[in-house]
């Protein structure tokens, strides 16, 4: 009974070797196995590094994804999460959180009606539902939401001094 040796794993020039072999042949076969394991380890490492590099180089989220993330946070009352999507430097975090969390308007739902991009600026037309103090049911209204792209990422533009509602709703 004999077995075939892989090319490059020692025993070049030999097509077969007996399954019962001398002690010197064990080292040759062990070396082949060791080289094979090293090759697999290096390949696995290379693939994992490639995956890490690929995930680090992801494109920024689309405007629609950012709009959805922002408004989901607003509807859920997650002011800290929505703050991360506001244009950096517009308001400091404590001021923003205070304005959003104490605003008389509580958004309950939203739907995107249209998105109009113009270079690094965009206007998003929304249909929103919100609660106002003293009303027993939500009010529905459309609104225009301004967005800005900075360093490739979209940010919500909350006008300074605004609490997140349009002028006609205050």
Q: Where residue 164 falls among pLDDT bands split at 50, 70, 90?
A: very low
Hey, what CATH topology would domain 63-164 get? Nuclear Transport Factor 2; Chain: A, (3.10.450)
Q: How many CB atoms lie within 10 A of CB 158?
A: 22
For residue 2, pLDDT over 70 is answered with no
The span from the CA of 31 to the CA of 100, in Å, is 67
Query: What are the residue ranges spanned by the domains of the chain?
Result: 2-56, 63-164
SS3 at position 125: strand
pTM (2 decimals)?
0.60
Residue 30: φ, ψ to 5° = -60, -40
Q: CA angle, 16 as apex, 14 and 21 as ends, to 5°?
A: 100
Give percent above pLDDT 70 in the chain: 59
Tens-digit pLDDT profile for residues 10-67: 555 545 555 565 656 556 666 655 676 566 655 555 555 444 444 444 556 899 999 9
* pLDDT above 70 (res 99): yes
């Amino acid at each position: 009974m004999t077995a075939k040796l892989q090319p490059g794993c020692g025993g070049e020039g030999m097509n077969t070797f007996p399954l019962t072999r001398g002690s010197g042949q064990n080292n040759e076969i062990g070396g082949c196995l060791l080289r094979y394991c090293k090759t697999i380890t290096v390949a696995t490492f290379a693939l994992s590094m490639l995956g890490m590099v690929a995930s680090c180089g992801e494109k920024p989220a689309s405007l629609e994804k950012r709009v959805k993330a922002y408004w989901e946070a607003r509807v859920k009352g997650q002011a800290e999460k929505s703050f991360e999507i506001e244009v950096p430097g517009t308001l400091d975090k404590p001021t923003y959180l205070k304005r959003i969390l104490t605003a008389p308007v509580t958004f309950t739902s939203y739907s995107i009606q249209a998105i109009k991009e113009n270079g690094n600026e965009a206007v998003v037309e929304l249909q929103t539902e919100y609660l106002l103090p003293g009303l027993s049911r939500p009010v529905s209204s459309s609104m225009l939401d301004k967005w800005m792209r900075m360093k490739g990422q979209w940010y919500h533009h909350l006008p300074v001094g605004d609490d997140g509602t349009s002028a006609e709703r205050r």
